[in-house]
Amino acid sequence: MKNLKDVFISAKEKCTLCNVCVECNGVVCKGKIPGPGGKGSGSSFIRNSLKLKDVKVVMNLINDFSEVDTSTTLFNHNVDLPVYAAPIAGIKNNFGVEISDKDYNSMMLKGCDMANTIGFTGDGISIDMFTLPVDEIDNLKGHGICTIKPWVTQGTKPRIDYMNNKNVLALATDIDSAGLAHLRNSEVKVEIKSVQALKELKDSIQVPLIVKGIMSVKAAMCALQAGADAIVVSNHGGRCLDESLSAIEVLHDIAIAVDGRMTILVDGGFRTGGDVFKALALGANGVLIGRPITISAIGDGANGVHLYLNKIKDELADTMMMCGCNCINDINYDCIKVIN
């Protein structure tokens, strides 16, 4: 397919559990889990989208450049834009499509590679949900980041042993999955992690550790103490706790406290290059996008993901140009205004 509109039409025809809304904001799918929605009332997913609208960008048009550069690095790996595919697992159960997680991750990682950026893979109750995506990353010369759930040792050890023999850019752990009911009640369970447990995880790997699911300054400082290389400011797309704050509204305080000592990524409701710009201005180094990238892959595989990421890159470049930012490092707090 040549344009994103056709990709989304194709996805809408295939998905039986996701409505593929024009605006992916958690309203139509509220409470739909299994499904793509937010937990309970759905308010945490909805708030992620709403609060982004309270951040406005500041135009700044007298400058001496005409081209902008959206490229940056993640753990010394060059990328064309500071935007990454978020880990999404359980494609069949959550979107109602006949696509295995293995095939989804293969398409998603390839689409990210075509856009010269990086995708994160997910995890689930069956160990295959971790290892098969790790194989896909390994096949792609390590151009991907795998994510492990906060399992008890019985679940963590075999996954880490497997990953340590493969080529991956980094390991993430979504500590907020301790709030997912089906994983709390599974045979091998998830648990709340201590600083010591995260330190042990960090010591057991040779690649950077990213702690995903940080929503307070206190938690960010604990991740730092544990030796994390990066955090993802995230409420898991509103799926692990109802009535949570949104990621965008806690980002700036966390960025000030971290003060450059870890890489800061953020996710939850980001849908345009303008949204990405807002996150960078509030102190993030990069943004993860979840559901729309999955929908793009369902619609047209790796090509759909590539088209979607190109849309985000073009919008980011346009916003940078209009706000007087020549490169990613030029984007700062003066480029936005929080109105509420």
Ligand X SMILES: Cc1cc2nc3c(=O)[nH]c(=O)nc-3n(C[C@H](O)[C@H](O)[C@H](O)COP(=O)(O)O)c2cc1C
Residues forming the site for ligand X (CB under 6 A): 36, 48, 86-90, 94, 122-123, 147, 174, 212, 234, 236-237, 239, 267-270, 289-291
Distance separating alpha carbons of residues 37 and 266, to the nearest angstrom: 19
Shortest separation between residue 161's beta carbon and ligand X, angstroms: 20
Residue 205's CB is within 10 A of a number of other CB atoms, namely: 15
Shortest separation between residue 273's beta carbon and ligand X, angstroms: 14
Considering the complex, state which of residue 223 and residue 325 has its C-beta at the smaller distance from ligand X. 223
Considering the complex, state which of residue 133 and residue 301 has its C-beta at the smaller distance from ligand X. 133
Considering the complex, state which of residue 292 and residue 301 has its C-beta at the smaller distance from ligand X. 292
Question: In angstroms, how far is CA 281 from the centroid of its own chain?
Answer: 18
Considering the complex, state which of residue 68 and residue 297 has its C-beta at the smaller distance from ligand X. 297
What is the maximal distance between C-alpha atoms in the chain?
Answer: 61
Shortest separation between residue 267's beta carbon and ligand X, angstroms: 4
Considering the complex, state which of residue 108 and residue 289 has its C-beta at the smaller distance from ligand X. 289
92 and 98 Cβ atoms separated by less than 8 Å: yes
Q: Name residues whose C-beta falls within 8 Å of residue 250's C-beta, 6 or more positions apart in sequence.
A: 215, 216, 233
Please provide residue 145's backbone torsions phi and psi, each rounded to the nearest 5 degrees.
Answer: -125, 130
Shortest separation between residue 235's beta carbon and ligand X, angstroms: 8
Considering the complex, state which of residue 149 and residue 324 has its C-beta at the smaller distance from ligand X. 149
Shortest separation between residue 67's beta carbon and ligand X, angstroms: 29
- In eight-state DSSP terms, residue 176 is G
Q: What angle do CA 150, 85, 264 make, to 5 degrees?
A: 65
Distance separating alpha carbons of residues 236 and 33, to the nearest angstrom: 13
Shortest separation between residue 255's beta carbon and ligand X, angstroms: 18
Distance separating alpha carbons of residues 306 and 83, to the nearest angstrom: 12
The dihedral through the CA atoms of 26, 91, 35, 2 has a sign that is positive
Distance separating alpha carbons of residues 90 and 92, to the nearest angstrom: 6
Shortest separation between residue 288's beta carbon and ligand X, angstroms: 6
Considering the complex, state which of residue 226 and residue 298 has its C-beta at the smaller distance from ligand X. 298
1 and 78 Cβ atoms separated by less than 8 Å: no
- In eight-state DSSP terms, residue 118 is -
